[in-house]
Structure 1
Amino acid sequence: MKIFRKHYKLTAAVLLPLFLAACKKNNDNEPVATTKSTISVENVLNSQPLVESGTFQGTGSPALILPGQSVTIQFSAAKGEALTFATMYGWSNDLFFAPANPGIMPYDSNGNPIEGDVSSQIKLWDNGTRVNQAPGANVNHPGEAESKNITEVNGIDAQGNTYLAASQLVSANLKYNGNSVFTLTLKNISGGTKNETPLSPGVWAVSYIVGGNLQNPNPLYTAGKPTANGLSNIAETGDNALLSTYIKGITGIFTPLSPILVVIYNGIDNPIYKIGENDRGKGLKPLAQQGNADTLAAYLKTLPGVKQVYVLPAPSTRVLLPVIGGQQGGLVSTDFSAAKGDRLAIATMYGFSNDWFFASTDNGIDATQKGDISNTIQLFNDGTAVDQFPGAGITQFNLAGTPLTATRPIAVVPNPNPFTTLPDISKMIKVTIK
C-alpha cells in the first residue's frame, strides 16, 4: 500500500504540469483547452514577365499605316521599364522597325518623364528569313528563303541595298499624361523618300522590372539570334496575330508579398482594419505602402484582447516572391496556440502596388479552424496613396518611388479594376492551417 501511494504521488507530479500546459483558466477558474496549429502562407502567383502588351494598326483595309499616317500606343511604366514594338517595313522581304532592346526608356536617370522626339531610338532590322530584294512596291513576296540571325540594317543590307536611317522613315514622339501613363505616337514619314513604304500592324510590350532587372529585356526579338514566336509573320507578311498571341500569353501579374503579419485575438473586432474606415494611423499604412509590418505589429501588441502577434519574413529574400519560371513561390509558416473563441487574421502587402494589401475578411476566422482558408482572404485598397498601374508606377515604393498621398476609406480592390484584371485570390496567395 505504501508503494502504491508513492507511485501515485510520483505519477501525479509528472502529469500535473502536462495538464496545466495544455489548459489555461478562464474567469470562472475553469480550465480552457488550447490547441497547437501551424499557419502557412505561400505566394502561389504564376507570374508573367510582361506588365503590359498590345497591338496597333492603321485605319484602312488592310490596316496599314501609310505615309503621312500615325498611330498611338498608351502605356504605363515604372523607372527602368521600357516600351518596345515591332512593325514591318512593308515594301521589303523581311525587314522590320523596332527600338534596340530593351526599348524606349520613358524616364531619365533621375526618374523624370521624358517627352518629345525619340525617333533616334528606332532601328531597322533584317529578320534573316528572306533574301533581300531592292525595297519598293515591286518586291516579290515571300521571296527566296534563307536562315540567318536577326541583324541591324545600318544604311545597307547584306545584298547591297541602301536605306535611310530608320528615324527618317518613322518618327516617334513621347508624351507624358501623368500618373506614370505615357502616349507614344508613331508616324510614317517615309513618303517621298527613296525608302517610301507602308508599315504593317504591329505589337508592343513593357517588361516588369524586379530588383533593378527587367524580367524580359528582349520580349519581341534578340539581335544576333534567330527570329522566334511569330515575328517572321510580321517581318515577312505584316501579320501581327501570331506574335500578339505569344506576348499576350506572357503578359499578366507579377508581385511579391511582404512579410506576413499574423494576429491572434479574442473578444474584439479585427484589429488590423475596418472596411469603410480611413486608415487609423496605427501602422497599416507602412504595411500597405512599403510592406513594413513592424509598426502595426508593435501597436497590436498593446491592445487588450490581442494574444499573439507574428511577423513572418521569407528566408534570405524577406519578401515572398511569386512563382518565376516554374520555381516555387515564397513560403513562410509559424506555430501558434489558440483556445475556443480566439480569432486569427493576417495582412500582407501586394508588393507592386501603391497601397494594396491582402487581409482576412470581416472579423478573421476561428483560430482553431484547420484547412485551406485562402477563401477568407481579400485584396483591399488602403486609400492612403494615389493608385497607378500595379507594377508600372513611378511612385510605387517597391519600384524605387515615393507614394503620393490620398485620403479615402479602405475598400475592396475591384476586379477588373481601372488598370488590369487580377487572377482569383486563391491563385495569388494560399493560406493553410494544420
Structure 2
Amino acid sequence: MKQYKKLTTWAGIALLPLVFTACKKDRKYPTEPPTEKVSITVQNVLDSKPLVESGTFQGTGTPPVILPGQSTSIHFYAAKGEAVTFATMYGASNDLFFAPDNPGILVYDAAGKPIEGDVSSQVKLWDNGTRINQKPGATVTHPGVAENRNISEVVGMDAQGNTYMPTANLMKTTLKYDGNSQFTLTIQNTSGGTPNETPFSPGVWAISYIVGGNLLNPAPLFMKDKPTANGITDIAEKGDNAALSKYATSITGIFTPLSPILVVVFNGLENPLYKAGEKDRNQGLKDIAQKGDASVLAAYLKGKPGIKAVYVLAEPATKVLLPMINGAEGGKVTQELDVAKGDRVAVATMYGFSNDWFFATNGTGIDPFQKGDVSSTTGLYDDGTALNQFPGAGITQFNLAGTPLQESMPIAKVPNPNPFTTLPDVQNFMRVILE
C-alpha cells in the first residue's frame, strides 16, 4: 500500500515562512583575534512515519468479541482534515468486514468545529474477496472456499446473492469531543434480533498525518477495488487483528519538518536565544517556536553587542527541512562561518508539527572549534507560550491551520515520554555537523 503522497515544497503548502537574514557586526577591537572558516551543516534526520496514531480495540469477554448489545471505545487525537478509520470482522461471515470508506471519518467540519454525534452512515460493509460467501449466520463454515477477487463494498447483497441490512442498522458509531483535540469513537453492536445478527471481532484503528491539506496515507488499512493486503485477510476471515496491528504499528510514529534554521555566532554572552527556567524574552523566539519564523529574532539580534553574525538558513527547494520519507535523505542546509577563539554558536529551529516546541543548542551554545557531529549539544524545548497538544494532531497548531492558545510558562525541556507520545532521541531528529 502506498504510504505517502508526493510532497511539494513547504511554500506550496503554506506551512512556514521563508526569511533569510545575514549580518556581521563591525569589529571594534584595535587588534582582532585571528579567524578561521568553519562550516556548519544542519539536517533533518528523522525517519518519518505516515500515521500519527494507531491501535487496537476489542470486547471485554472471552473470546474478546463485541457481541450484540455491547460496545467498545477508541480514544485518539486529531487535527483538522485528519480522519479516523478502523476495521472489524462481520463475525458471522466468511470474509466480510466493517470499515469506513477511505480516508475514514472526518472529525472536524470545514470551519474546524469538532463533529459529534452519530456517524454510523460513514461505516460500510466490505467483502475481502478471498472466500466465497455463504449465507451469513452461526452456521457459516470457516474458512470456506477460497476465491481471488478485489476488496469490494457490499451494498444490500453480496456476489452470491446473500442479503444484508444497511450497516447503520447493525453498528452504531458515535463521536464525542473530549477537548484539546481529543475524541472518543464508540462502536456499538446493534445487530441483535436482525436477520444479520453478528459479533464484531477485535479490530484495528488508525489516524494519518495531514501535510498541506493532503493526508500522508489516505488508505491506512485497506484499499477498495484492490487486492487485500496488510493483514486485512486475518481480520476478515478469522477476526484476528494481530497482523493488521503489526502493519499499522510499523508505519505509525513521528513526522515533522524543521523550520528554517537560525544560526547565531556570538562572543562574551550567555545564550542569546533563551535560558531554560525563564520565560520567553519576547524578542522573537516565540515566532520560531509557534510559527517557524526566524526573521523577528534575527532582526532583533542584528547589531546587538556580542552578536557577530546571524543567519537564517532555508533548504533551497522546500524552504523547510523535510524529514526522511521512504528512506530518502532529509533536508539539510550548510553555512560557512568566520569564527575566532572564544566565539560560540547557537542554533534554533521549530518542531514544525507542534504548538511551541523548538530545537536549540543547550546552555551557552556550541564551541565552533569542536569539529564533527555536535548533535548532542542540542535539546528539544517547550517555549511555554502556547498550550500543548498531540504533536501533528492538534487543532490549534499553527502549521496545521490553527491558532495557538496562549499560555505563559517558563521555557523547559520537553519531557520524553510526554503526556501525548514518546519521541525519538533529539539526535534522531536533527543532526548538527561542524567541519
Do residues 255 (structure 1) and 256 (structure 2) align? yes
Aligned twin of 1:222: 223
Aligned twin of 1:105: 106
Aligned twin of 2:4: none
Do residues 242 (structure 1) and 243 (structure 2) align? yes
Shift of 1:182: 0.4
Alpha-carbon distance between aligned partners in 2 of 1:229 and 1:98, rounded to the nearest angstrom? 15
Does the residue aligned with 1:366 lie in a helix, a strand or coil?
Answer: coil
Aligned twin of 1:15: none
Q: Aligned letter for 1:129?
A: T
Q: Aligned letter for 2:260?
A: P
Aligned twin of 2:88: 87
Aligned twin of 2:282: 281
Shift of 1:404: 0.4
Structure 2 counterparts to residues 35-50 of structure 1, below 5 A? 35-50=36-51
Do residues 54 (structure 1) and 37 (structure 2) align? no
List gaps (5 residues or longer) in structure 1. 1-23
Q: Aligned letter for 1:381?
A: D
**Does the 8 A contact of 1:26 with 1:32 survive in 2?**
no
Aligned twin of 1:34: 35
Q: Aligned letter for 2:84?
A: L
Moved more, 345-354 or 365-374: 365-374
Alpha-carbon distance between aligned partners in 2 of 1:323 and 1:209, rounded to the nearest angstrom? 16
Aligned twin of 1:233: 234
**Does the 8 A contact of 1:209 with 1:215 survive in 2?**
yes
Do residues 430 (structure 1) and 431 (structure 2) align? yes
Alpha-carbon distance between aligned partners in 1 of 2:269 and 2:368, rounded to the nearest angstrom? 14
Q: Aligned letter for 1:363?
A: T
**Does the 8 A contact of 1:348 with 1:359 survive in 2?**
yes
Shift of 1:328: 1.1
Alpha-carbon distance between aligned partners in 2 of 1:25 and 1:78, rounded to the nearest angstrom? 49
**Does the 8 A contact of 1:25 with 1:32 survive in 2?**
no
Question: For each residue in 1:351-382, what CA deviation from the matched residue of structure 2 results, as whole angstroms up to 9, or x when unmatched?
Answer: 00000000000000112221111000100000
Superposed structure 1 runs of 4+ greater than 6 Å apart:
none
Does the residue aligned with 2:106 lie in a helix, a strand or coil?
Answer: coil
Moved more, 70-79 or 313-322: 313-322
Structure 2 counterparts to residues 21-170 of structure 1, below 5 A? 27=29, 29-170=30-171
Question: For each residue in 1:181-224, what CA deviation from the matched residue of structure 2 results, as whole angstroms up to 9, or x when unmatched?
Answer: 00000000000000000000000000000111101000110000
Shift of 1:316: 2.5
Aligned twin of 1:349: 350
Aligned twin of 1:414: 415
**Identity across the alignment (%):** 66
Alpha-carbon distance between aligned partners in 2 of 1:142 and 1:61, rounded to the nearest angstrom? 21
Q: Aligned letter for 1:172?
A: T
Change (3 A) 1:328 1:25: closer
Alpha-carbon distance between aligned partners in 2 of 1:365 and 1:168, rounded to the nearest angstrom? 64
Aligned twin of 2:391: 390
**Does the 8 A contact of 1:47 with 1:252 survive in 2?**
yes
Moved more, 362-371 or 73-82: 362-371
Higher relative contact order (CA 8 A, sep 6+): 2
Does the residue aligned with 2:33 lie in a helix, a strand or coil?
Answer: strand
Aligned twin of 2:7: none
Bigger Rg, structure 1 or 2? 1
User: Structure 2-normalised TM-score?
Assistant: 0.93
Do residues 267 (structure 1) and 284 (structure 2) align? no
Question: For each residue in 1:24-74, what CA deviation from the matched residue of structure 2 results, as whole angstroms up to 9, or x when unmatched?
Answer: 9985x5551111011000001010000000000000110000000000001
Structure 2 counterparts to residues 307-318 of structure 1, below 5 A? 307-318=308-319
Q: Aligned letter for 2:278?
A: E
Aligned twin of 2:194: 193
**Does the 8 A contact of 1:84 with 1:99 survive in 2?**
yes
Q: How many residues align?
A: 410
Alpha-carbon distance between aligned partners in 1 of 2:287 and 2:317, rounded to the nearest angstrom? 21
Aligned twin of 1:184: 185
Q: Aligned letter for 1:195?
A: N
Does the residue aligned with 1:194 lie in a helix, a strand or coil?
Answer: coil
Do residues 362 (structure 1) and 347 (structure 2) align? no
